[in-house]
Amino acid sequence: MLELENVEVTYPGPPPFTAVKGINLSVPTGSTVGLVGESGSGKSSIARAAIGLTPVTKGRITLDGQDVTNPKGKSLRYLRGRAQLVFQDPHASLNPRMEIAMAVQEAVSVATGKRLNSRECADAALDLLDKVGVPKAAMRRYPHQLSGGQLQRVSIARALALEPSLMILDEVTASLDVSVQARILNLLRQLQRELDVSMLYISHDLSVIRYLADHVYVMRHGEMVEAGTADQVFDAPQQEYTQALLSAVPTLGGSRWRSRHDLVAG
C-alpha cells in the first residue's frame, strides 16, 4: 500500500543536510513494518515525508498507487484521509489548551465532514477513547493532567478517528516506562487484529519491533542497510551494524527474544 521509491530528504539548512539518502521502503496492505535505526538516522524524516509534513527532494511516494509525493490539494486530502501519524512525545503532540475529548472530537468531525452533529461527534470521540483504554474520568481533562501513557492512547484514538488504512507510529513508546510501554504495545497488537490497518512502526528499540513487525528495515545515517522479514533480520542479521544493534538491545519485559507470537499481556 505505501511505497517509497528512492526517496531523498534534504533539509535546506544552511548548510543543507541530507537526512534520508534515497531509500526504498514498502508497507504491504495489512502488514506491520518495523523501521529501526539509532537516533538521528533519519527515521522521523521518513515518517514526516510520508505524511506530507516534510518535503521530499527526490524520489516518489505512493499510497495505494496514488502519487502522494509532496502532496497538495487533492493528493493531500487523499493522503490525510488514509494515513495518520502518531508522534513520539505525547506531551508535545496534543494542544495544551484543549480537553482531550475535544481533541478527539475535532478529529471525528474532520473525518465525518458535515454528516454528524457535534453531539454525535462527541459520543463517537468518547467511544474511541473508551476503546483505547482512556478512563472516563480523564476525558474532560487537559493534556498536562494525564500521564504519558494515557496521552499516547489519546493520540492513537485521535488517529483512529480518521479510520486510517495506514498508521505511522514514530517511537510512540520511547518516552514511556517499560510497563506502560508494554500496555501500549498490547493495545497496538489488539488494533492490528481488530482493524484493517497497516502499520509502519518506527523505533530504535529492536525488541519492540520484533514484538510487532512482520518486516523490518534497518537504517543508518540516512541509508537503508538491511531489510527482510522479522525472522530473517533478527535470526540471521547480514550487516555488522544490525548485529551490533541486536547485541546492544535492552529487553522488553524480561527474557530476551520473544517472537511477536508469544509475548503475553503486560
Partner 1 sequence: MSSKRHGTTRQMSKAFLSSPTGIISGLILLGLTVLVIMGPNGFGDQATVSDMARSSEGPSADHRWGTDALGRDIFTRTLAATRLSILYASAAVFFAMIVGGLVGGLIAAGGPRVRKVGGAVIDTMMGFGDILLAVVVVAIVGVGAKGAVLAIGVAFTPHFARFTYSLVDSVMVRDYMSAARVVGVSKSGIGRRYVGRNVADSLVIVTFTTVAEGIMAMSSLSFLGLGIQSPQFDWGQMLTDGVKNFYLNPYAALVPATLILITGLAVNLFGDALARAVNPVLWSERPSLFRSKLRRNRAKALAMTPEITIDPAMETELRKGRP
Ligand X SMILES: Nc1ncnc2c1ncn2[C@@H]1O[C@H](COP(=O)(O)OP(=O)(O)O)[C@@H](O)[C@H]1O
Residue ranges binding partner 1 (CB under 8 A): 48, 51, 53, 77, 80-81, 84-85, 87, 89, 91-99, 106-107, 110-111, 118, 122, 140, 142, 144-145, 155, 158-159, 161-162
Q: How far is the CB of 21 from ligand X (least distance, A)?
A: 11
Q: Binding segment for ligand X among 41-49, 160-168, 233-241, 244-252 (CB under 6 A)?
A: 41-49
Query: What distance in Å separates the CA atoms of residue 263 and residue 93, rounded to the nearest whole number?
Result: 29
How far is the C-alpha of 98 from the C-alpha of 143, rounded, in Å? 8
**CA separation for the pair 102, 140 (Å, rounded):** 8
- Which of 39, 72, 137, 194 is close enough to bind ligand X by CB under 6 A? 39
Q: How far is the CB of 162 from partner 1 (least distance, A)?
A: 7
Nearest approach, Cβ of residue 45 and ligand X (Å): 3
Q: Running DSSP on this structure, what letter comes out for residue 226? A: E
Q: How far is the CB of 42 from ligand X (least distance, A)?
A: 4
Query: For Mg ion, what does the binding mask look like between residues 18 and 57, x meaning CB under 5 A?
Result: --------------------------x-------------
Is 8:20 a contact under the CB 8 Å cutoff?
yes
Taking Cα atoms as reference points, which of 205, 239, 200, 206 lies closest to residue 223? 239
Q: Which amino acid belongs to residue 84?
A: Q
Instruction: Based on the shown chain and the rule CB under 5 A, indicate whether residue 155 belongs to the binding site for Mg ion.
Output: no
Following DSSP, what letter does each residue of 56-116 receive, concatenated?
A: -SEEEEEETTEE-SS--HHHHHHHHHHEEEE-S-TTTSS-TTS-HHHHHHHHHHHHHTTSS
Contact 161, 193 (CB under 8 A): no
Tell the smallest beta-carbon distance from residue 95 to partner 1 (Å). Answer: 5
Residue choice 32, 44, 109, 165 for contact with ligand X (CB under 6 A): 44
Binding residues for ligand X (CB under 6 A) = 11, 17, 19, 37, 39-45
Binding positions for Mg ion, rule: CB under 5 A: 44
